[in-house]
Structure 1
Amino acid sequence: MEKIHQGWRILIGLIGLLGILIISQWAVPAHAATNYDGANFTTAAKVTNGPDFKHADTIDIQYHLDFGTTPLHNGDTITLDFPENLRGKTPGDTFDVTDESGEVIGKAVVSDTGVVITMNDAFEGKTNAKLTLNLATKYRYDDTGEKDVVFPLENNGSSTSTINMVANEANLSKSGTIQDDGTIKWTILVNRKNLHLKNVEISDTIGDHQEMIHGVTVSKAYWTSATGYKREKPAMTADDYQVTYHDQGFDLAFNDDLDQMVAIDYYTKITDSSLIDSGYKFRNNAEMTWGGGTSGTKHSEQANGKVSSSKGNSGSGSGDVNETTEEPEDKDTGTIDTDNGTETDAEEAAREETEDKEEATKEAEAAAAKKQAAKAKQTAAKVNQTTAKPKAAVKATATQSAGRTVNHNRKLPQTDEAPVAWATLSGLGLLLAVGSVRVLRRH
């Protein structure tokens, strides 16, 4: 009986040892995602349009990043902060970062203060990763005049672009937003400068691939900032204006004088849905006329509006494939005298010239073959990536704050070595179990 108890104690000890090995395997950390500060790899950055901007205008900026020998892995994030006086035009917008062939190599998310790019596994095994980002921003403040836009660069450097912020003197403006239901919401701001205007009339003409939807909402409005405004509620009624619809838009006339800004909202239907996500620019034109009383003089002003599915953000990248191109060592590096010294100088020179040409031809053929092999290897790799079963991945997340990005890394899935480790543990467990049975039998 004592021997049986001793055998059970041995078996329990072996099982405990197996449990410790399994727990220790779980405790081994996988490759953690890295959050890179994009400024440390930015080689150039600038404003690409302007230099004169109204506060509602889009300021386009461009970054060039070079990672050199720093590898980029699946789940790694790259954070780029906008210059202090710029803000993201479309916070929350996401876009793909692609390579030369159009393959997606990462996803980018725009915030008010910058952009965060999360890389996938397309750059695994590559070096000299380079990224180019084109981003749409707006000026953050309400002041005017020349302003310096400062971009931080690698090695504590910087690049400065100068822009000129000017006040918007227009008294009429037009803007649009594409809706999820395939319509466009257009807004006309009338009497933007809050002047006293008589006999105000609006004539609106919609552009191609749109159909007018009858019904307008007319509201008095007031400014809250250089670019922000609010509509008063309730909206104006049909007693305040007269509207006539036609195929290409509408005509609207106010019954009374205006001494305050007015917002006119209405919708058009997109007639070709294939254009919605194509980046096509839908256009619209509005004209305001006023005056023409006792003086007989009629004033007019026009505003052109356009809207596109493109948010103005894009990214592209490239990298070098790591592969061995070193030639095998040439054991015979000396000059061979093929005739044991019986050639004349002229004959030797002619022979060496012929040999040099033949060697050059061979080297050219070898280089061409090597290039073809490398191309085939890359093509095969792309095919394998396309046909391979996709792997589940837990993305690292980055939370934006004012002017700063806080990174919260998460463990990535185990690498391909994980199944090998589990197989090893399974085999060890089986051996321990068999050994335990033998011990019990002996007792």
Structure 2
Amino acid sequence: MSEALRVAVAGLGTVGAETVRLLAKRREVIASHAGRPVDVVAVSARSRGKDRGLDLSGIDWADDPLSLATRDDVDVVCELIGGSDGVAKTLVETAMAAGKSVVTANKALLAHHGSDLARKAEAGGVTLAYEAAVAGGIPIIRALREGLVVNEVSRVYGILNGTCNYILTAMRESGRAFDDVLAEAQELGYAEADPTFDVDGIDAAHKLALLSALAFGHAVDFKAVHTEGIRSISALDIAYAEEFGYRIKLLGIAERTPEGIRQRVHPCMVAKAAPIAQVEGVFNAVMAEGDAVGTTLHYGRGAGAGPTASAVIGDVVDIASGRGAPVFGVPAERLSTSREAPWESMRGGYYVRLMVIDRPGVLADVTAIMRDQNVSMESMVQRGRDPHEKVPVALTTHEVDEASMRKALADIAKLDAVQEPPAMIRIVDL
């Protein structure tokens, strides 16, 4: 058997600690798959004295994580610190410049700097691997980059954030409000104390930017991802969705259109029978549509110590055994500059909920505005009557372009009888 691959781990949070633990626990199995032993020789973290339940005997401790990048006894650096800039970025760049391969779970770093880092990896003749950066233990990076290589992918989409999926599932099952379920998710450890990246869609947008680059061969373009979160979703909207035959999911969707590539993260209504609608709780699912393979579904836990560490170690084993591929499937110099499809021309159905004063003529005014913008209503529900008081009215539309729908909603919001900004959720045919 060949000499050992020597690994340094920067960051000993839940993922980093589990990576070190699994590399030791499954050492023989890993060696048999890799063709040689894989040994952790050095680690670094903020607190040396913290009890992580790890046996670090025989492993060097580095107070400065950047020192791992230039050690002669390190072949691969696992960057598990996080953050789009700062120490994480410097560590990755320094390690690759020193001829060391890098494994990372850092989707923010890659979403903001992926194309540049891919060029640097190729220039240094090293591997930059990131299976753990998207959907945890689901091997979607490998599937898109290698398994589906013969396909022309038309669309890749999915549930990319388990926190949001948990919240939407719990709201539907319990009828509780967003704030109550978010607080529960934080207590259970599914949501951070500051949940902004999750509930505002940023985390999912980071991941979608990477999937889109892989699927369509263009440079990573996080700024091109239209991003909306789930803070505005109410228990009332979820109940109406059920009545109309839909479930609400936060989806990331990247698709090839005649006008260019469109990347978007936002709440969607999907038919209850759609496979993606059946994905509940903290689970993730990614679907890819290829011309040869058809539609594929990749499902599993999208976060957590075990699933993410599993993906990290899978990348380490690939490096140990000499398997590799360009960071985004094709050489960095061949990554195209994607033509961004205009958001306003996107077409689809829409769900709209209005809070209006219950008086004669209100619905006539609403439908007149929709008619003027060529918006055709498909169905409508009004629950109960409460003359001269605020009541909800929910409706769905036939397919229409985004610009027309937005203009109609802006005009409807100006009506005296409309008491709140209209709630709107896009209906997606999957």
**TM-score above 0.5, yes or no:** no
- Structure with bigger helix share is 2
Which TM-score band (shorter chain)? under 0.3
Question: Which one has a bigger Cα radius of gyration?
Answer: 1
TM-score, length of structure 1 as denominator length: 0.22
- By relative contact order (CA 8 Å, sep 6+), the higher-ranking structure is 1
- Structure with bigger strand share is 1
